[in-house]
Chain A
Amino acid sequence: AQKITQTQPGMFVQEKEAVTLDCTYDTSDPSYGLFWYKQPSSGEMIFLIYQGSYDQQNATEGRYSLNFQKARKSANLVISASQLGDSAMYFCAMSPADFGNEKLTFGTGTRLTIIP
């Protein structure tokens, strides 16, 4: 079974500062994928970034980067230069990396509020 833990229910960050959202995971699968999604108040889940367990380098997508520490089983999301539009719920998720078995297991989420 897979488990995702997000220990920060809410965070307040000043605009233009960098922010790190914590995520730890547990799994017995030999290979897996880690995801971060953003959910604004409208409800839609927006894909942000993906990291494969065998990827040597940390994933980056624009202002988003994933700080992947496999030994610590952590996959923190770093948002550089935060903007007001970054205010939303953020979910860490994982799935087995087996073709045909990609169901996502989500954490409880972190509500990020950017302060002007």
Chain B
Amino acid sequence: KAGVTQTPRYLIKTRGQQVTLSCSPISGHRSVSWYQQTPGQGLQFLFEYFSETQRNKGNFPGRFSGRQFSNSRSEMNVSTLELGDSALYLCASRESGGVSYEQYFGPGTRLTVT
């Protein structure tokens, strides 16, 4: 099976712009979660989608949003970018509903805001 894929891998944006990141989960996985990783805050949970519905949400401002499509692919959007949004954004997929709680991560999108 192919792993979790994320596009783009690298992105440079300017303050005030918006950005959309994409994540394709492992085939058959219906749960997709997003995490932000920064040197200062470490790894933080953003949100999780399951069957096109947001099921969990972390403690991030409304500028961070996401959605999931019927094929389980997910996108996250950050509007009005701030310098502090510079981070590695990781997507993880999980089979959900099965006995395994393992989450498999993609390679991440490294976002730099200038």
Q: What distance in Å separates the Cβ of B69 from its nearest Cβ neighbour in chain A?
A: 20
A108 with B42, Cβ < 8 A, contacts A37-B105, A103-B33 known: yes
Instruction: Tell me what chain B mostly uses at the interface: helix, strand, loop, or mixed.
Output: strand
Q: Is the CB of B42 within 8 A of A106?
A: yes
Size of chain A's interface in residues, with CB distance under 8 A?
26
Q: What distance in Å separates the Cβ of A48 from its nearest Cβ neighbour in chain B?
A: 10
A47 with B102, Cβ < 8 A, contacts A101-B56, A103-B48 known: yes
In angstroms, Cα B56 to Cα A44, docked, is 23
In angstroms, Cα B50 to Cα A3, docked, is 24
Cβ contacts under 8 Å, A56 to chain B: none
Q: What distance in Å separates the Cβ of B52 from its nearest Cβ neighbour in chain A?
A: 14
Q: Does B103 contact A (CB under 8 A)?
A: yes
Q: Is the CB of B101 within 8 A of A44?
A: no
Of A19-27, A64-72, A77-85, A92-100, the one contacting chain B is A92-100
Q: Does A115 contact B (CB under 8 A)?
A: no
Cβ contacts under 8 Å, A107 to chain B: 42
Q: Is the CB of B106 within 8 A of A103?
A: no
Q: Is the CB of A44 within 8 A of B106?
A: yes
Q: Is the CB of A102 within 8 A of B94?
A: yes
Q: Is the CB of B50 within 8 A of A43?
A: no
Q: Is the CB of B48 within 8 A of A42?
A: no
Q: Is the CB of B107 within 8 A of A44?
A: yes
Q: Is the CB of A102 within 8 A of B103?
A: yes
Q: What distance in Å separates the Cβ of A44 from its nearest Cβ neighbour in chain B?
A: 4
Q: Does B104 contact A (CB under 8 A)?
A: yes
Q: Which A residues have a C-beta under 8 Å from some C-beta of B?
A: 33, 35, 37, 42-47, 50, 52, 91, 93, 95, 97, 99-109
6 A-B pairs in the complex with CB atoms less than 8 angstroms apart: A35-B102, A43-B108, A50-B102, A99-B96, A100-B56, A101-B55
Q: Which B residues have a C-beta under 8 Å from some C-beta of A?
A: 31, 33, 35, 42-43, 45, 48, 50, 55-56, 58, 88, 90, 92, 94, 96-97, 100-108, 110
